[in-house]
Amino acid sequence: MEVKELGHVVLYVSDLARSREFYRDVLGFKEVGELGGSAVGFSSGRTHHELLLIEVGGQAAPLPAAPRLGMYHFGLKVGESDDELRGAVARLQEAGVPVLGASDHTVTHSLYIQDPDGNEIELYIDVQPEAWRDHPGLVFAPIKPLKL
């Protein structure tokens, strides 16, 4: 077997309406369907769905503080240029979403935020030209502070 691509992410959320608004209105995902008021799917247009949110209610246990096992964050590509990343910062500020960090990973420029349930999300652009294609080791270059 060979994995061809990461297809989608499924998240349990405490409040479907609040998370739906965040992923649709703040991050710009397109809603592709709803399942009985308890789940909603989103896509950027790359595939049938890339994100599925399932409501479990406010009684569910919150994410434990780091360090913990499991997912650290997931990455969402928001463009190819720092101008697009600056546009993302402006949109986040407008929506009142704090940026938790900003990193220059040599191959990407990245912002870090949290969704309403505390899941960490990396919003990034691929630095052009995509030097990692010819030099894969650049993916592990030292992390530097990002200056936008």
Q: Do 137 and 84 share a structural domain?
A: yes
Tens of pLDDT, residues 28-82? 999 999 999 999 999 999 999 999 999 999 999 999 998 999 999 999 999 999 9
pLDDT the model gives residue 2: 97
The whole domain housing 47 covers 1-58
Mean pLDDT of the chain: 96
User: Per residue in 55-74, is it b (16+ CB within 10 Å) or e — as a string?
Assistant: beeeeeeeeeeeeeeeeeee
* 67 within a domain of the structure (yes/no): no
Q: Do 82 and 35 share a structural domain?
A: no
